[in-house]
C-alpha cells in the first residue's frame, strides 16, 4: 500500500505568515492528490484537487503544487479563519484511498 506522510504534524504561525505543509507519497501517484481542510468540530472541506487545482470558492491564498511523490500546500498569508487541520489524500488507486496523518495549524 502507498503511505502518505504529512509534515509537520502541527505548526504555529502568525497572522500574515506564509505557511507550507508537505505531503509525501511512498510511491508515485502522478497528480492524484487532494487537500482538505477540517476546522474544529466541522466537516472536512475540499481545498485542492489534482495536486494544484483550487476548488471553487476557496480563497486564492491557498495553493498546491507537486507531482509524483512530493506535494505542498501553501497558505500565502495565514488568516485567523485558517485555523484547522489539513489532510492530503491520494486517489489514484484503491484500496486504500489513503489520507495523510494531518497537520494542525494554529495562530501564534
Partner 1 sequence: EVQLVESGGGLVQPGGSLRLSCAASGFTSSSYSMNWVRQAPGKGLEWVSYISSSGSIIDYADSVEGRFTISRDNAKNSLYLQMNSLRAEDTAVYYCARLRGFSYGYADYWGQGTLVTVSS
| Residues near partner 1, by CB under 8 A | 32, 34, 36, 38, 43-46, 49-50, 55, 85, 87, 89, 91-102
**Which residue, 19 or 47, has its beta carbon nearer to partner 1?**
47
State the minimum distance, in angstroms, from the CB of residue 7 to partner 1: 14
**Which residue, 75 or 98, has its beta carbon nearer to partner 1?**
98
**Which residue, 19 or 88, has its beta carbon nearer to partner 1?**
88
CB 102 within 8 A of CB 87: yes
Amino acid at each position: 500500500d502507498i503511505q502518505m506522510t504529512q509534515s509537520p504534524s502541527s505548526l504555529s504561525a502568525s497572522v500574515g505568515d506564509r505557511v507550507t505543509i508537505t505531503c509525501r507519497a511512498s510511491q508515485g501517484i502522478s497528480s492524484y492528490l487532494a487537500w482538505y481542510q477540517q476546522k474544529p468540530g466541522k466537516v472536512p472541506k475540499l481545498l485542492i484537487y489534482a495536486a494544484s487545482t483550487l476548488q471553487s470558492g476557496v480563497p486564492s491564498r491557498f495553493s498546491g503544487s507537486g507531482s509524483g511523490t512530493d506535494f505542498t500546500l501553501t497558505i500565502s498569508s495565514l488568516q485567523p479563519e485558517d485555523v484547522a487541520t489539513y489532510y492530503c489524500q491520494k486517489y489514484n488507486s484503491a484500496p486504500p484511498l489513503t489520507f495523510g496523518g494531518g497537520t494542525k495549524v494554529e495562530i501564534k
